[in-house]
Amino acid sequence: MGLIADETSDVGHHEQLAVVVRYFDEKRNRPDEVFVGLRRLKTDAQSIFNELDALITELCVTRKQVKTVSFDGAPAMSGEIQGVQAKCKEQNPEILFVHCFAHCLNLVLTKTCGKEGKHAEHPKVVDFFGALQVLYNFIERSPLRHGILEDVAKQAGEALCQEFVHYEVHLSSRCCTCYQRPKFPHLLRAVEEATNASKNADVKATGLGLLHQLKSFDFILCLHFLDPILQLIWKLNKTLQTPNLNLVVAMDDVATFREKLVQLRTEEHFSRVLEDVVKTCASIKVTVPDVKKRRVSTRVDDQASTQHFLRLKKRNARLKLIFPSWITC
């Protein structure tokens, strides 16, 4: 059997440890998971280990029967010297530690898109998720504005997702179909109607600012380019949380996910995306900006002909979206 544990704080700001037992069901011939307890504790490794050890005793299981432990990457949990996994191996040297694959996926998303500020790794992507956060707050914090969105969806014949959940970069499981490309025109129309219908100055200012960002070329480009990526992340995240999943299938799914991501970085795929972006911009009357001309610097080299300029919008957009580290200066 294996132990899966993770800690989090509740609404009372108390640390809680959730524990799941993973075992092989011989009757159904497949692995299975059972939630066995929620323990309040301190966040140090020794306290967490003591709670897990007490739980093992309560389940009438010996330490030798616990073959694997699975935690996140927090030092208190996965530390090789003083972490919980190290303390588990002191009791049973043959025990295996498995870093949660779903948490690894979230860490990748956080490191890739989560940096903010002037030197963000992907500033366009950070701005995109920031706009989604504002969009969620604008719609969901008012029953009236949510009702406007539902009316717009019904008039368009679209099935609106009941859980209008925002996407957080560090929680890929919250990727919701509300933000897929086909629903973007309805969201845009709902924001416009809610802004025009409101008599509150703050709501109008927020709505107008949100419309300005939603109707920008950069936002629409990110929406079209990230939509298939978010769908892949959503599917992989749901797969990695399947109770009867085994490690071999999980590794195969992760490998397939990486192969599909590589395919989405090709020149052909980006060309198709850019064509769709231009069509969408034309349909909602958004101007596609020209490539911004960079000022020629004479401090390093007096020969302007030696400096490189991007003259095509396609290359300029691809550079800013896929290779942002080149332009962080």
- Are 121 and 257 contained in the same domain? yes
In this structure, is residue 265 part of a structural domain?
yes
In this structure, is residue 307 part of a structural domain?
no
- Mean pLDDT throughout 86-108? 81
- Are 52 and 138 contained in the same domain? no
In this structure, is residue 70 part of a structural domain?
yes
Asked if residue 94 has pLDDT above 80, the reply is yes
Confidence bin at 22 (pLDDT 50/70/90): confident
pLDDT tens sequence across 150-191: 888 777 766 554 433 333 333 333 444 344 556 778 788 888
Q: Report pTM.
A: 0.64
Q: Which token pair is 211?
A: 């419309």
- Are 59 and 151 contained in the same domain? no
In this structure, is residue 289 part of a structural domain?
no
- Are 185 and 71 contained in the same domain? no
- Are 37 and 119 contained in the same domain? no
In this structure, is residue 113 part of a structural domain?
yes
- Are 233 and 133 contained in the same domain? yes
In this structure, is residue 290 part of a structural domain?
no
- Are 120 and 90 contained in the same domain? no
In this structure, is residue 323 part of a structural domain?
no
- Are 216 and 69 contained in the same domain? no
pLDDT tens sequence across 225-266: 888 888 888 888 888 888 778 878 888 988 998 899 888 888
In angstroms, the CA 272 to CA 265 distance is 12
- Are 277 and 181 contained in the same domain? yes
Considering its fold, how many domains does the chain have in total? 2
Q: What is the dihedral of CA 238, 185, 314, 266, to 10 degrees?
A: 20
In this structure, is residue 327 part of a structural domain?
no
- Are 93 and 184 contained in the same domain? no
End-of-domain residue from the set 42, 76, 99: 99
* Domain span holding position 67: 2-99
- Are 94 and 133 contained in the same domain? no
Alpha helix stretches (DSSP H) within 198-246: 201-214, 217-240
- For residue 15, what is the enclosing H or E element? strand 15-25
For 315, the 3-state DSSP assignment is helix
In angstroms, the CA 183 to CA 161 distance is 10
- Are 153 and 262 contained in the same domain? yes
